[in-house]
Structure 1
Amino acid sequence: MRAPYASDPGHSRGRITPEDESAWRPAFQRDRDRIIHSSAFRRLKHKTQVFVAHEGDFYRTRLTHSIEVAQVARTLARVLGLDTELAEAVALAHDLGHPPFGHVGEDALERLMAPHGGFDHNAQAVRIVTRLERHYAEFDGLNLTWETLEGIAKHNGPVAVAPWALEDYTAVQDLELHTHAGPEAQAAAVADDIAYNHHDLHDGLRAGLFVEADLMELPVVGPALREVDARWPGLEAPRRRHEALRRVFGAMVEDVIATARARLDTAAPQSVAEVRALDHPVVAFSPGMVADLAQIRDFLFHRMYRAPQVMEMRARARVVVEGLFATYVARPELLPPEWRPAAACDATARARVVCDYVSGMTDRFAIEDHARLTA
């Protein structure tokens, strides 16, 4: 049953280029489908989550992460009476703007683009779905609904200072960056947190960066391991790990559902506009879970994200991204033919074109292209 504060595809604010809507697919489902069929979504298969995408088939990539986020977002939306297809669309699109090599690539481009308006992966995702995907006859981008674009732009909360890519688009269509997003986008944002907290623990264990014994004193994780040990003493290691981490996953989901229900009961919004107008998100972790997850993230920061082999990868990735950017800014004639006309302009415009090109690369392509240019 749809809640009164849920987004309604039948009353969407529409698309910037008017289209006849599908007779059998609601507007937000059509958004989701266009995202799935986009080139940028396919490229997520070869983009880093934490480990470089080609270092092992087991580890999460941006694509598998996005699918996991969409599954959680859909569950949260269904339980809370929200539009599941809008939540799923935002979840599937939320990482489209990530450059190669994950956060190290983003950090590098943020530094390089500082004189030219900066770089932010959420803003870049909006740029991709409104400008850079060029497949349709009538428009650039995917011509998504206002609600999906709003969710991509500000699922993490109001945007105080818009990066240039977002500012560029909002000059054409106001996404009301000063407010919270609708509840479906909020569900996608917290689903992102749930997914990466779960799978970073799993990938770190798989990579041998730590073992289960190291996790026994962590909140949520330690109790989950002890519960599994009490129920299945001597369970073989892979099953023990899986059973414990699925309980961690479940604990996070249940915490969000309970917290969201309590906040919605208190606020009693009667429309999605009333949700946006609140000074806090309604779909969120409880304060207790936030504190517990902070301890888990601190552990992962020291034992995983700053592990020597991960830091070595980060250093190599930084060299690749910085080298590609510098080369193409200095010699735009080396860009593919379809990118060259846009690069034949002033320094800032050229840097932005190069940023668009480099940020769209997969890990593998970036490594190969850098090797080719520096051979």
Structure 2
Amino acid sequence: MNLRQELEAREERFLSPFAFKSVQSRGRARKEPECDLRPAFQHDRDRILYSKAFRRLKHKTQVFLSPSGDHYRTRLTHTLEVSQIARTLARGIGLNEDLTEAIALGHDLGHTPFGHAGESILNSLLPGGFRHHQQSLRVVDELEKDGQGLNLTYEVRMGILWHSKGRGSILLGPEEAPEDLSLEAHVVRVADLMAYVAHDTDDAIRGGVISVDDLPQLVVAVLGNRISRQINTMIRDFISMTRAQKAPKVAMSDHVLEGMYCLREFLWDNVYDNLEVHSDFMRASKVIEELFSKLVDDDNFCLEHLGGLPRGEERMRRAADYIAGMTDRYALKLYEDTFLPKPWARL
């Protein structure tokens, strides 16, 4: 018995009957020899961690565009915080931490520069629309490793695809999600929201956009007025309510869910749509729109940056892929080099 098989046997002994075990995986799109050291989901986690798309997350906006302060979240720190919360939840209810972590680390790989403003403008420009969760799946399936993709397991791929909520339901009902979606995927979906409602609040307070006193009374009464207390309340509620279930489902109490919904709506109204924050993103949207148009309309520019001259919707798709993969600073530098005049430097 090799180490991978020992670890798979340990999963059978110690995880919940509702956990998704590595040996149950539907496998990969392209068959390949199994690693003798790592179960499949641990292998997937490592592939995501060492991908170029993961490294680029450190220079992508979470809420505040190109913040000069050292302590604001980026898309990378958000991802790490989601991973930590998701593993805590998974461990608390006996689920597969490797699967949970792989989904969490991969869930935002397809996010654009400039946060949701970048996603919104690409969605308006690309035929068929653009959604970051679909792009995250496209990154791991088709774009990473020079077009080979990461060849991840089905379960990790579906968890990435189904993590996004927008302003929709936090907990998916059985009629809303695929029957074979793992509980670990449901955990990441909830952990993502726990992370961003608490940490975006923290960043907004740090940036002076809101103060602690602005938080709705319902949020303070149910979740608390400190970030650590809010996260602690949400995690404890999720674990206790889910452990009480007699079926394979995740659960939270009605009053904590109400507090989370209230905090999310407060952030939309007072932070994400705040005029000062929003104006930066409108300017950033213009950067993406003009770069996209340049890639689509200018053959020389397209050839230089896309390495070919695809036609029609394929060109637009490739342009969106290229832009979505950019960091904030790369997009701004490319825009500057492409559209802004340079000082005359004759010797």
* 1:221–1:246 CA distance, 2 compared to 1 (3 A): farther
The question of 1:304 aligning with 2:271 is answered: yes
CA drift of 1:156 comes to: 4.4
Q: Distance in 2 between matches of 1:110 and 1:89?
A: 26
Q: What RMSD, in angstroms, separates the aligned Cα atoms of the two structures?
A: 2.1
1:63-78 equivalences under 5 Å are 63-78=76-91
Distance across 2 between alignment mates of 1:205 and 1:148: 34
Please point out which of 345, 352, 360 is paired with 2:325. Answer: 360
| Cα distance between partner residues in 2 of 1:57 and 1:332 | 40
Residue in 1 that maps onto 2:232 = 250
**Greater shift after overlay, 203-212 or 81-90?**
203-212
Q: Which residue of 1 aligns with 2:314?
A: 349
Amino acid at match of 1:360: G
Out of 291, 294, 303, which is 1:324 matched to? 291
Aligned to 1:272: none
User: Matched residues in 2 for 1:336 and 1:134: separation?
Assistant: 20
Q: 1:207 to 1:156 in 2, by over 3 A?
A: closer
SS in structure 2 at match of 1:17 = coil
For 1:12, which of 15, 21, 25 is the aligned residue?
25
1:329 maps to amino acid: V
* One-letter code aligned to 1:141: G
One-letter amino acid of the structure 1 residue matched with residue 191 of structure 2: A
**Residue 159 (structure 2) aligns with:** 151
2:300 to 333, 342, 357: 333
1:325 deviates by: 0.6
Q: Measure, in 2, the Cα distance between the counterparts of 1:180 and 1:10.
A: 15
Q: Residue by residue, what CA displacement relative to the aligned partner does 1:84-123 show, whole Å, maximum 9, x if unpaired? A: 011001001111111111111001011101xx22111111
Farther-moved stretch of structure 1 (62-71 vs 306-315): 306-315
Distance 1:220 1:260, change over 3 A: farther
Tell me, yes or no, if structure 1 residue 291 matches structure 2 residue 299: no
- CA spacing shift, 1:307–1:81, aligned 2, 3 Å: same
Q: How much has 1:311 moved relative to structure 2? A: 1.4
Rounded Cα–Cα distance in structure 1 between residues aligned with 2:223 and 2:21: 40
Amino acid aligned to 2:239? I
Residues 107 and 136 in structure 2, CA contact (< 8 A), matched pair in contact too:
yes
- What is the alpha-carbon distance in structure 2 between the residues aligned to residue 191 and residue 185 of structure 1? 10
Q: Structure 2 CA distance, aligned partners of 1:247 and 1:348? A: 48
Moved more, 91-100 or 289-298: 289-298
Q: 1:76 to 1:332 in 2, by over 3 A?
A: farther
Tell me the CA shift for residue 367 of structure 1: 0.9
Per the alignment, residue 36 of structure 1 pairs with: 49
**C-alpha contact (below 8 Å) 1:332/1:344 kept by paired residues:** no
Cα 1:180–1:309 shift into 2, 3 Å: farther
Change in CA separation of 1:252 and 1:28 when aligned onto 2, cut-off 3 Å = same
Alignment of 1:1-375 (within 5 A): 1-113=14-126, 116-134=127-145, 140-156=148-164, 178-179=178-179, 181-215=181-215, 217-220=217-220, 224-225=224-225, 244-262=226-244, 264-265=245-246, 267=247, 269=248, 282-335=249-302, 337=304, 339-341=306-308, 343-345=309-311, 347-375=312-340
Task: Return the TM-score normalized by structure 1.
Answer: 0.80
Name the amino acid aligned to 1:323: E
Structure 2's unaligned 5+ residue stretches are 1-13, 166-176, 341-347
Identity of aligned residues (%): 43
Give the Cα–Cα distance (whole angstroms) in 2 for the partners of residues 52 and 31 of structure 1.
Answer: 31
Q: Which amino acid aligns with 2:143?
A: L
Return the alpha-carbon distance in structure 2 between the equivalents of residues 106 and 286 of structure 1: 32
- On the 8 A contact 1:99/1:360 being kept in 2, the answer is yes
